[in-house]
Amino acid sequence: GIQVEQSPPDLILQEGANSTLRCNFSDSVNNLQWFHQNPWGQLINLFYIPSGTKQNGRLSATTVATERYSLLYISSSQTTDSGVYFCAVTGANNLFFGTGTRLTVIP
């Protein structure tokens, strides 16, 4: 299967700080999605972004498919941003999840 690596594995931020999360994948993909898993376990779609740049409020994402990476930017972080961020790519009718970045935002 496709290998998906995320960095950093853990990140602690002060409220109000900005951050960049990275997702590297090993093969060309049709789709790339970013998810936030909240402390209660729910996976929430943030972006569907196979290429290009998208923005949604304080979050934005960029995927450079030719170089096989995607970045998730979080600006002015809030405590509610805490949780695990996963990128996931599609291949062979399966969704391959990355290793995740655990974000903790402290007040």
Partner 1 sequence: DTEVTQTPKHLVMGMTNKKSLKCEQHMGHRAMYWYKQKAKKPPELMFVYSYEKLSINESVPSRFSPECPNSSLLNLHLHALQPEDSALYLCASSQTPQGTSGNTIYFGEGSWLTVV
3 lies in the binding site for partner 1 (CB under 8 A): no
101 lies in the binding site for partner 1 (CB under 8 A): no
98 Ramachandran zone, left/alpha/beta (phi>0; psi -120 to 50):
beta
93 lies in the binding site for partner 1 (CB under 8 A): yes
Furthest C-alpha separation in the chain: 42
Piece in contact with partner 1 (CB under 8 A), picked from 25-33, 52-60, 62-70, 73-81: 25-33
Task: For residue 54, count CB atoms less than 10 angstroms from its CB and return exposed for 0-12, middle for 13-18, buried for 19 or more.
Answer: middle
Q: How many Å apart are CA 18 and CA 3, to the nearest integer?
A: 27
53 lies in the binding site for partner 1 (CB under 8 A): no
Residue 58 CB, shortest distance to partner 1, in Å, is 21
28 lies in the binding site for partner 1 (CB under 8 A): no
